[in-house]
Structure 1
Amino acid sequence: MAVIPTPEKHVAQLIDANLDRAREGLRVIEDWCRYGLQRKDLIIIIKDYRHQLGRLHQKTYKQARSAQTDQGSGLTHEAQNDRISPLQIVSANCARVQEALRVIEEFARNIDPELTKAASKIRYEIYDLEINIQEATSGKKRQKELSACKLCLITTPHQELIAKVSAGLKAGVGMVQYRCKKGKDIDKFSEAEKLAVICKDYGALFIVNDRIDIALAVDADGIHIGQEDLPLDIARKLIGPEKLIGVSCHSLEEAQKADKNGSDYIGFGPIFRTTSKPEVAPLGLECLKQISNSINQPCFAIGGINHLNRSKLLSTGVSRIAVIDAIMKAEDPFQASKQLLEI
């Protein structure tokens, strides 16, 4: 380590305080990544930042420390009480680290070039790190919401699409999958954009069927793909690690493959005969039971499910369902959704 000129005492105190502040903030962020996100890759990066600053926290700075004469010691701000969520706490501590490092850059520039260089490099990298942590935290939140979801509404083109979906969401639908095979892309984008906003207002997940481009354009929570769509690994590269990917499966082998390859949930069916695909033979309850015992991720039963046969699924161990007609063709989509959730 290079020998640095002896700085004025007040400057040394200032550098010492901000090194402490930066390292403390980094520790808060690191612990969230460790215990909240369980992201080893992020932990390694942040730990390295802490050790870099610790190595450059020279004895000269520590010896200038004087907590008793620090006029800012113990001061707090009411805004600290507004930090409720982990994301708010992480963002506040990222800002704390950035501010502390900026102060170090300004005051150490002419006395400790090595520290200045490290502070500048880490400060700029924290901007990207914060975004990565925000995305990872959002992904964690999506997984939690997915786990709690019992009813997914898959849309079909309808003149009253927004009203139908809104009624379902009001009743407690936990996830909406936008599915539209025909029409112009600009119209699909417009509908998806509106639905994404509505789902966010109700705290529900919004998934786009097939179209990764539209999902990204409206910042959907994820995509749903079929067996003849893009391969799962390619879809993951395009949509990113923090978004959800659901896969339609029609056999035990397909479900196990999707589970192994990193899908977040599967839609399995048809369980009963459907009006949308009457030519497809239903897979039945016994097959659904096998799926329940064979995969680790959430499974949504789909195909011909309504309030009359919903209770038959209870014996399979699958509690989540995805429906189209049961809500989209109902005269009262709110009541129809309620009935499906109450069984």
Structure 2
Amino acid sequence: MEWMPDDPCADTRVARLIDANLDRAREGLRVIEDWCRFGLDRQDLVVPLKDWRQQLGLLHADCYRQARSTATDTAAGLSHPAQQTRSNNTQVLKANASRVQEALRVIEEFARNGDSELAQTAAKVRYALYDHEVRILEACGQNQRRQRLEISRLCLITDPGSNDTSGAMLKRVELALQAGVSLVQYRRKQGPDALRLQEARQLADLCQANQALLIINDRIDLALLVNADGVHLGQEDMPHPEARQLMGPDKLIGRSTHQIEQLHQAQKDGADYLGVGPVYATATKANRTPAGLDWVRTAEHSARIPWFAIGGINSHNIAEVLGAGASRVAVVSAIMGSDDPIAASRELLQRLG
């Protein structure tokens, strides 16, 4: 085994190796830091990354920099086909986290004999980044769901009746998804829990296959069991803080609102989106007085988060709803009660632009 001096700077090869890996680690941290700052807008995720980058910068001694020689580096500019397959931001973040962790491991090994402070710092940052990466990826998952929610204009609510079969309900949803619906809310007021769980699982598979969001109405337990994208809660359902504690930070939580005070409270609580209605009389909410188009106009001026007008909306009256200020609607019978769910979905999507 070749002897390695106690001082890493005494061996140019070791100094060059440490210098290169310090550059890799700091560059990778900067990539992750900037996405957390500009892509996720999460200062709490940015602060540790900046601190680790600065710690490594302070320990990047001049002797390491002076040993640098890119002209004689036989691997300079070498790339790998895997670098061309990073098709989304999450893959970029994962690749850079791995890059940082690998570089820090190299530093830890070669600096241990003569630069213990650097070796210890590299080990500390490496272990901390393992946990921090998980938090960042959770935030990315939440961010992606919110981005997909932002572009969704039509929410399909299943609400099967007591005589509807699961097969018929699932087929209508599948056809709507094929037509371009990107958000489904599973709502069943009647039937045993075993049936609800079965249908929720089947809908989760359908939505995943069609890259659509799945929201479960009322039931946080079902949402968690089928790994749905979120839950929709009414005014009498679980309060938001407790719902968020159960759902975790990366899932969507929607809230039904019927008056301005409820809308303001839902936004204050941190809801991801709102249901605004019922706009018209509807058989699915027969006991609730329609709020009318004035409520839509009020929501248009007051809502700061995505919201869906809901209640008796169909192809015949959607123009009025859009004219009152809505840009998103949620429907039940307009699609689920149609003889041609594909045509019904396409017509509504076309009206929504």
Q: Please name the residue that 1:179 is paired with.
A: 187
**1-side partners of 2:296 and 2:279: how far apart?**
7
Unaligned runs of 5+ in 2: none
Question: SS where residue 301 of structure 1 aligns?
Answer: strand
Q: Please name the residue that 2:52 is paired with.
A: 49
**2-side partners of 1:148 and 1:75: how far apart?**
39
Amino acid at match of 1:6: D
User: Which residues in structure 2 correspond to 1:256-267 (within 5 Å)?
Assistant: 256-267=264-275
Q: Please name the residue that 1:90 is paired with.
A: 93
Question: SS where residue 156 of structure 1 aligns?
Answer: coil
**2-side partners of 1:260 and 1:221: how far apart?**
21
Question: SS where residue 302 of structure 2 aligns?
Answer: coil
Cα distance per residue 1:110-159 (max 9 Å; x no partner): 22222222212211222222222222122222222212111101112342
Among 99, 115, 133, the alignment partner of 2:136 is 133
**1-side partners of 2:62 and 2:205: how far apart?**
54
Among 40, 43, 51, the alignment partner of 1:40 is 43
Give the structure-2-normalised TM-score: 0.91
Question: SS where residue 293 of structure 1 aligns?
Answer: helix
Question: SS where residue 276 of structure 1 aligns?
Answer: helix
**2-side partners of 1:11 and 1:188: how far apart?**
62
CA contact (8 A) 1:6 1:60 kept: no
Among 328, 344, 352, the alignment partner of 1:336 is 344
CA contact (8 A) 1:222 1:244 kept: yes
CA contact (8 A) 2:276 2:295 kept: no
Cα distance change, pair 42–279 in 1 and its aligned pair in 2 (3 A): closer
**2-side partners of 1:287 and 1:59: how far apart?**
66
Question: SS where residue 172 of structure 2 aligns?
Answer: helix
Q: Please name the residue that 2:257 is paired with.
A: 249
Cα distance per residue 1:42-84 (max 9 Å; x no partner): 1111001101111222223223222222111111112211122
RMSD: 1.7
Is 1:112 aligned to residue 112 of structure 2?
Answer: no
**1-side partners of 2:297 and 2:82: how far apart?**
51
Question: SS where residue 51 of structure 2 aligns?
Answer: helix
User: Which residues in structure 2 correspond to 1:1-343 (within 5 Å)?
Assistant: 5-7=6-8, 8-157=11-160, 158-159=164-165, 160-343=168-351
CA contact (8 A) 2:175 2:342 kept: yes
Cα distance per residue 1:68-104 (max 9 Å; x no partner): 2211111111221112211111111111001111111
Amino acid at match of 2:156: L
**2-side partners of 1:75 and 1:147: how far apart?**
40
**2-side partners of 1:217 and 1:162: how far apart?**
19
**2-side partners of 1:330 and 1:205: how far apart?**
22
Amino acid at match of 1:286: D
Question: SS where residue 55 of structure 2 aligns?
Answer: helix
**1-side partners of 2:346 and 2:118: how far apart?**
61
Q: Percent identity?
A: 52
CA contact (8 A) 2:277 2:290 kept: yes
Amino acid at match of 2:21: N
Q: 252-261 or 222-231: which moved more?
A: 252-261
Question: SS where residue 245 of structure 1 aligns?
Answer: strand
Cα deviation for residue 26 of structure 1 reads 0.5
Amino acid at match of 1:29: I
CA contact (8 A) 2:7 2:115 kept: no
CA contact (8 A) 2:277 2:295 kept: no
Question: SS where residue 54 of structure 1 aligns?
Answer: helix
